[in-house]
Amino acid sequence: MKKNKVLLVANWKMNPDTYEKADKLFQESVHVASQAKKVKTVLCIPYPWLTDFSHKHQKVVAFGGQDASIEQAGSFTGEVSPKMLTSSGVEYVIIGHSERRALGETDILIAQKVIASLKAGLKVILCLGEKSRDDHGEYLMFLREQIINSLGKIQKRYLKKLIIAYEPVWAIGGGDDEAMKPTDLHEISIFIKKILVEMYGQDSGTSIPILYGGSVSPDNAKDLINLGEVQGLLVGHLSLNSKKFSELLKNIE
Taking the least distance from each CB to ligand PGA, the nearer of 22 and 44 is 44
The CA-based angle 14-17-22, given to 5 degrees, is: 90
Q: Which residues are catalytic?
A: 97, 167
82 or 129, CB closer to ligand PGA? 129
Distance in Å, CB of 238 to ligand PGA, minimum: 6
Shortest Å distance, C-beta 51 to ligand PGA = 23
* Interface residue list for ligand PGA (CB under 6 A): 11, 167, 172-173, 213-216, 234-238
User: Based on CB atoms, which residue is closest to ligand PGA, 83 or 101?
Assistant: 101
By the 8 A CB rule, do 123 and 165 touch?
no
244, 215 contact by CB (below 8 A): no
Closest approach, Cβ 167 to ligand PGA, in A, equals: 6
Residue nearest to ligand PGA (CB): 236
The strand pairing partners of 131, in sequence order, are none
C-alpha dihedral sign at 151, 14, 172, 29: positive
Residue closer to ligand PGA, measured from CB, 74 or 175: 175
Name the residue among 223, 207, 106, 228 with its Cα closest to residue 163. Answer: 207
Residue 162 contacts residue 207 (beta carbons within 8 Å): no
Q: At closest approach, how far in Å is the CB of 59 from ligand PGA? A: 25
Cβ distance 205 to 197 under 8 Å?
yes
Rounded CA-CA distance 2/92 in Å is 22
